[in-house]
């Protein structure tokens, strides 16, 4: 029995499958397959998490019916026997790491996009998918499936489960959450059929129960069947009420499923003031839903629930996860993004190394990069996510070198950390009195609580790896050269751009505001990127009268789609005025003169004007050194900047290359 986490880290069963502890890696799409086939990247990804101590892995959403059931081009597929050999390798590497292996099987239904599947999506009914935070878009009206087609898809699910068993998986999870077909059948707004597959709870769950029954026939009692279930569908047209969710849970329990992973579905095109971005999600946020299900099953059956529940949602804190199991809220804890950013998370729990946990900051790039940009998942903390996942096996340096890193932002710290882990002697110089760089301002806008977790992690990593940190030390090119380092890494950041307008000297920058500079009541923010919009939100919550002026037609365009939707909803709820297609032309003592989208000049009254029009790389040190030393690198914002995952990746890559 573990002394600190006796419940969380104790063995337990899901059906006939014994897990070494009660942690379960949630299925998360990575979009890194080769045309649906398991490849080395997929194997590396799951091997790292299995070796990292998790009790069971639910492999990412896997398509049972191509092409109509596809979500992304990189989605795993199991609708044909040709996929079994790769899946066999995948089950083997998970088992070799000590974890149990479950495969999540699914059909995207009306959530599929014509650009991916090459046809009109299908669904229970001809009802278009509403706006999805995750996808960042609504979708075209699907074609309603015929009864015969539904029954064919049911069989495809069951045959997919049989292939998973043949490949050596311990069980499957049937996906009934989000914009996937499983939830669509359960939802009274997505499913408006009047035949045996719709019109009542009993009929709406028929699709799922038929899949479970047939899977049990094909795979036997010793093969675990899990269901990932939306017990409530939130939104203006929510189609699954709490009573519905309890009814569905009762039917699943009666059908003999081996566990239910409890979640909520969510739709809204106007989050207003109510919705929070992932960067402010509470820990173990889905655990209370497990308590609701438990209470509902007890009230409706007269008995204590028999089906194990898997709860979680931002479960990187083992103490909170331990309490959730100890008090009976759930039986297992699912961990999602926490295992993307920290593959050996559960080992860190077990070894008492909680202070080494790399936090998930909730930026959403892992999702956005797949669904919006057609790429693989990326991470703002884990440079190697979907890029090989080999951080745990860094090759030692062939020759120990002295490395000097200039700049203590995220890119600089990552370069220093990796170089030191590989055996180099590393000195890091930071001109300010704290490390963190842009992170020290990025955590100041509202709902960025989890960004505050990153700086302590960076500080701890520098201490653990033995990097010698010199704060409050600006260095000149001559001083750097005098250090006689074998390699020099410049990570000197960027400086805010100031527009060359008449009256520009009257303006302050968004960084000034985030540092706490006072403003007047009427504020005009020039620039509507993520920084400008987040600064406007901060000012709006302070009660200021705020107008954002943006040259393009898009606001917060460099923000992940989910976070962008919520941020713009907040601005609307706060009454922030948004002018797109507008150009600021002059700043007077009490106004900003702008040319609006119609070509007219508009005077915006302003007590304070804020520039948020981007940043210019501060590459002066690199330019001075690049021809004077044979091994000089430029990374992070001083190399052009971009999103946070890019800074981490550049730091990691340089740290590996020295």
Q: Which residues are known catalytic residues?
A: 180
Distance between CA atoms of residues 389 and 52, nearest Å: 12
Using CB atoms within 10 Å of the CB of residue 630, give its burial: 0 to 12 exposed, 13 to 18 middle, 19+ buried.
exposed
Half-sphere exposure of 264 (CA within 13 A, CB side): 18
Q: DSSP for 323-373, please give it.
A: HHHHTTS-SEEEE-HHHHH-TTHHHHHHTT-GGGPPPP----HHHHHHHTT
- Which pair of tokens denotes residue 197? 């597959």
Tokens 């939130």 correspond to 234
Bond before 200 cis per omega within 30 degrees? no
Q: Are 636 and 647 in contact (CB under 8 A)?
A: yes
Distance between CA atoms of residues 529 and 496, nearest Å: 13
Cβ neighbour number for residue 198 with a 10 Å cutoff: 19
Torsion sign (Cα): 539, 541, 544, 550: positive
Q: Are 184 and 107 in contact (CB under 8 A)?
A: no
Q: DSSP for 389-413, please give it.
A: --GGGPPPPSS--EEEEE--BHHHH
- Which pair of tokens denotes residue 618? 């501060």
Q: Are 287 and 312 in contact (CB under 8 A)?
A: yes
> How far out from the chain centre does Cα 163 lie?
29
Q: DSSP for 462-507, please give it.
A: HHHTT-EEEET----HHHHHHTT-SEEEE---EEE-----BTGGG-
Distance between CA atoms of residues 658 and 649, nearest Å: 15
Q: Are 307 and 256 in contact (CB under 8 A)?
A: no
Q: Smallest Cα–Cα separation from 345: which of 26, 91, 17, 645?
A: 26
Distance between CA atoms of residues 157 and 461, nearest Å: 45
Residues in a beta bridge with 137: 132
Q: DSSP for 38-79, please give it.
A: --HHHHHHHHHHHHTT-SEEEEEEEESSTTTT-SSTT-EE-S
Q: Are 601 and 593 in contact (CB under 8 A)?
A: yes
How would you classify residue 43: left for phi > 0, otherwise alpha for psi between -120 and 50, otherwise beta?
alpha
In angstroms, the first-to-last Cα distance of the chain is: 43
């Amino acid at each position: 029995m573990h002394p600190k986490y006796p419940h969380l880290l104790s063995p337990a069963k899901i059906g006939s499958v014994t897990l070494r502890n009660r942690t379960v890696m949630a299925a998360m799409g990575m979009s890194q397959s080769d045309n649906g086939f398991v490849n080395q990247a997929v194997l590396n990804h799951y091997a790292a998490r299995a070796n990292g101590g998790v009790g069971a892995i639910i492999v990412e959403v896997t398509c049972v019916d191509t092409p109509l059931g596809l979500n992304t081009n990189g989605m795993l597929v199991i609708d044909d026997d040709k996929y079994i050999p790769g899946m066999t390798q995948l089950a083997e590497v998970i088992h070799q790491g000590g974890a149990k292996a479950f495969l999540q099987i699914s059909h995207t239904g009306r959530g599929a996009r014509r650009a991916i599947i090459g046809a009109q999506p299908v669904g229970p009914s001809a009802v278009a998918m509403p706006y999805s935070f995750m996808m960042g878009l609504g979708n075209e009206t699907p074609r309603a499936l015929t009864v015969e087609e539904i029954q064919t898809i049911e069989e495809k699910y069951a045959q997919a489960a049989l292939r998973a068993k043949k490949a050596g998986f311990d069980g499957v999870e049937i996906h009934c959450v989000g914009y996937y077909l499983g939830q669509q059948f359960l939802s009274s707004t997505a499913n408006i059929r009047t035949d045996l597959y719709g019109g009542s709870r009993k009929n709406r769950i028929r699709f799922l129960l038929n899949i479970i029954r047939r899977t049990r026939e094909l795979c036997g009692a010793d093969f675990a069947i899990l269901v990932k279930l939306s017990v409530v569908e939130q939104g203006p047209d929510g189609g699954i009420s709490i009573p519905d969710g309890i009814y569905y849970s009762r039917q699943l329990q009666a059908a003999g499923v081996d566990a239910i992973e409890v979640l909520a579905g969510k739709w809204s095109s106007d989050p207003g003031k109510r919705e929070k971005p992932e960067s402010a999600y509470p820990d173990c946020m889905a655990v209370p839903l497990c308590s609701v299900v438990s209470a509902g099953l007890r009230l409706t059956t007269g008995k204590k629930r028999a089906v194990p529940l898997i709860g979680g949602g931002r479960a990187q804190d083992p103490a909170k996860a331990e309490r959730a199991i100890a008090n009976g809220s759930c039986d297992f804890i699912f961990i999602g993004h926490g295992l993307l950013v920290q593959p050996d998370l559960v080992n860190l729990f077990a070894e008492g190394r909680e202070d080494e946990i790399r936090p998930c900051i909730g930026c959403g790039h892992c999702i956005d990069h797949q669904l919006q940009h057609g790429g693989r998942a990326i991470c703002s903390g884990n440079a190697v996510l979907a890029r090989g996942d080999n951080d745990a096996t860094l090759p030692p340096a062939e020759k120990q070198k002295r490395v000097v890193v200039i700049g203590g932002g995220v890119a600089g710290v990552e370069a220093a950390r990796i170089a030191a882990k590989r055996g180099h002697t590393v000195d890091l110089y930071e001109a300010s009195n704290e490390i963190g760089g842009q992170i020290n301002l990025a955590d100041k806008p509202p709902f960025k609580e989890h960004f505050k977790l990153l700086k302590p992690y960076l500080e701890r990593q520098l201490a653990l790896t033995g990097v010698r940190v010199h704060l409050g030390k600006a260095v000149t090119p001559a001083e750097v050269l005098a250090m006689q380092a074998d390699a020099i890494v410049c990570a000197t950041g960027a400086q805010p751009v100031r527009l060359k307008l008449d009256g520009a000297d009257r303006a302050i920058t968004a960084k000034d505001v985030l540092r706490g500079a006072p403003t007047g009541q009427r504020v005009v923010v020039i620039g509507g990127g993520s920084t400008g919009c987040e600064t406007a939100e901060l000012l709006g919550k302070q009660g200021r009268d705020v107008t954002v002026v943006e040259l393009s037609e898009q606001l917060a365009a460099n923000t992940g789609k989910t976070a962008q939707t919520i941020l713009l909803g907040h601005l609307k709820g706060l009454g922030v005025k948004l002018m797109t297609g507008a150009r600021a032309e002059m700043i007077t003592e009490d106004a900003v003169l702008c040319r609006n989208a119609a070509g007219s000049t508009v005077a915006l009254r302003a007590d304070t004007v804020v520039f948020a029009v981007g940043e210019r790389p501060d590459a002066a040190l690199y330019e001075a050194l690049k021809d004077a030393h044979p091994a000089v690198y430029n990374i992070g914002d001083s190399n052009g900047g971009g999103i946070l995952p890019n800074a981490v990746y550049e730091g990691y890559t340089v740290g590996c290359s020295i």
